[in-house]
């Protein structure tokens, strides 16, 4: 009988969001007349902006003509999109990025999960706790960790707790970490990192010889002009960091799938013999071997995001979601909850009521208010006693959910 990858058996019972789905499905089947409001998983609810739709329709028509048909495209992405990405997201911020340092993909989740393949298996990772589960689980699958302990932490991972006690600003790793995962604006806490704090992280990475994997999927929700939207706004960051970006929440591409990863050529690692190698070249090899590229139609839609009209339209959508976040913050505050985040990010992080455990509070809201959120413990041990709500719902659902919660 063929053997299996036994590292998969180390994974906890189930990935967070499928477990949420299982519980909601069971409740819904038992109470078919109840309307459930979902403010848990971070999926958008507004439709694609007209500029994006028109661009994709035009691209589809183009593909239907002999002269305009496109077969396999460049795995790294079409130049027309990469040039817009560089111009809008980097050049305007005084950052120089070359076209061959940008890799277009079908999602930041995929990139965050796959990037670990270009690092040695004995690399030690450090994660903020609570953490986006993909960072941890994919390294468990690869074999970089030991078993999970009773507290939900894996051996050979450095955990950096982010709690109310340290204002959700984790300390630097206390032991050597080769790879440091950072996410700002943060999922799940909704907190952001100041320019001075990011500069400290860059300085730390340089001194420790670490690589920062910077997930900035929610940068478009930053409202404060003093908060950096890219780690490359910090001098020297290109030597120690790669950056993950996504169109999913920015432009509603959760079902359309398009993202990109920036790996500067000066970002280097070492072989076992001490030879320096560019991570850019390693990822280029991996990307072109295992990925066939995002569709032409999708990339034309993504290009439209950067048009003047596209920016106006997605700006209105972001404002809609951030108004939802404001309503949730204010509504929960009136209900007596202690709340965090939601001012520069689409997520609100709250303390559970009456000291309930996170999953206990999940069941409490589902059963008594028919509202679905995300248990904080699902993001790591430091998330126990907290709960995440998403601002991506429809306005009427957000208002209704708050009314239900306030009645509890």
DSSP 172: P
Please return the burial class of 66, using the count of CB atoms within 10 Å of its CB with bins 0-12, 13-18 and 19+.
exposed
Q: Is 230 annotated as a binding residue?
A: no
Q: Is 184 annotated as a binding residue?
A: no
Q: Is 320 annotated as a binding residue?
A: no
Q: Is 292 annotated as a binding residue?
A: yes
Q: Is 337 annotated as a binding residue?
A: no
Q: Is 144 annotated as a binding residue?
A: no
Q: Name the packing angle between helices 308-334 and 395-407 (round to 10°).
A: 10
Please return the burial class of 67, using the count of CB atoms within 10 Å of its CB with bins 0-12, 13-18 and 19+.
exposed
Q: Is 347 annotated as a binding residue?
A: no
Q: How many angstroms separate the Cα of 110 from the Cα of each of 115, 260, 291, 334?
A: 8, 10, 11, 39
Q: Is 42 annotated as a binding residue?
A: yes
Q: Is 108 annotated as a binding residue?
A: yes
Q: Is 54 annotated as a binding residue?
A: no
| Cis bond before residue 185 (omega within 30° of 0) | yes
> DSSP assignment of 338-357, as one string?
-EEE-SSSSEEEEEPGGG--
Strand boundaries in 220-335, DSSP class E: 241-246, 259-262, 268-270, 276-278
Q: Is 15 annotated as a binding residue?
A: yes
Rounded Cα distance between 245 and 89, Å, is 10
Q: Is 257 annotated as a binding residue?
A: yes
Known binding-site positions for substrate: 15, 42, 109, 132, 187, 292, 388
Known binding-site positions: 15, 42, 72, 108-109, 132, 187, 218, 246-248, 257, 292, 388
Known binding-site positions for pyridoxal 5'-phosphate: 72, 108-109, 132, 187, 218, 246-248, 257, 292
């Amino acid at each position: 009988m063929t053997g299996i990858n036994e590292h998969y058996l180390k994974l906890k019972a189930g990935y967070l969001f499928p477990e949420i789905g299982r519980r909601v499905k069971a409740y819904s089947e038992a109470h078919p007349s109840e309307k459930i409001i979902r403010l848990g998983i971070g999926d958008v609810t507004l439709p694609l902006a007209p500029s994006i739709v028109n661009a994709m329709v035009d691209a589809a028509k183009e593909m239907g003509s002999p002269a305009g048909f496109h077969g396999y495209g460049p795995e790294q992405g079409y130049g027309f999109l990469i040039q817009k990405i560089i111009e809008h997201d980097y050049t305007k911020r005084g950052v120089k990025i070359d076209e061959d340092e940008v890799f277009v993909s079908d999602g930041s989740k995929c990139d965050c999960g796959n990037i670990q393949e270009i690092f040695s298996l004995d690399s030690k990772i450090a994660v903020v706790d609570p953490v986006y589960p993909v960072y941890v689980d994919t390294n468990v699958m690869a074999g970089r960790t030991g078993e999970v302990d009773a507290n939900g932490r894996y051996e050979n991972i450095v955990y950096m707790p982010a709690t109310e006690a340290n204002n959700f600003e984790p300390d630097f790793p206390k032991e050597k970490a080769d790879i440091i995962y950072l996410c700002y604006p943060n999922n799940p806490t909704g907190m952001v990192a100041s320019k001075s704090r990011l500069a400290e992280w860059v300085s730390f990475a340089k001194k420790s010889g670490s690589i920062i994997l910077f997930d900035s999927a929610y940068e478009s929700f930053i409202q404060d002009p003093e908060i950096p939207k890219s780690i490359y706004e910090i001098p020297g960051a290109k030597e120690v960091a790669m950056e993950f970006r996504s169109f999913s929440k920015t432009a509603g591409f959760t079902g359309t799938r398009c993202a990109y990863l920036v790996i500067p050529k000066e970002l280097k690692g070492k072989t076992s013999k001490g030879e320096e190698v560019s991570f850019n070249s390693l990822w280029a090899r991996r990307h072109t071997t295992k990925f066939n590229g995002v569709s032409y139609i999708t990339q034309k839609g993504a290009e439209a995001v950067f048009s003047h009209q596209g920016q106006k339209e997605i700006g209105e959508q972001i404002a809609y979601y951030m108004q939802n976040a404001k309503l949730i913050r204010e509504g929960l505050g009136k209900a007596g909850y202690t709340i965090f985040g939601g001012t520069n990010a689409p997520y609100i992080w709250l303390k559970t009521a009456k000291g309930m455990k996170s999953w206990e509070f999940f069941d409490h809201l589902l059963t008594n208010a028919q509202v679905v959120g995300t248990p904080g413990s699902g993001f790591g041990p430091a998330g126990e006693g907290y709960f995440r709500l998403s601002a991506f719902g429809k306005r009427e659902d957000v208002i209704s959910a708050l009314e239900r919660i306030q009645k509890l």
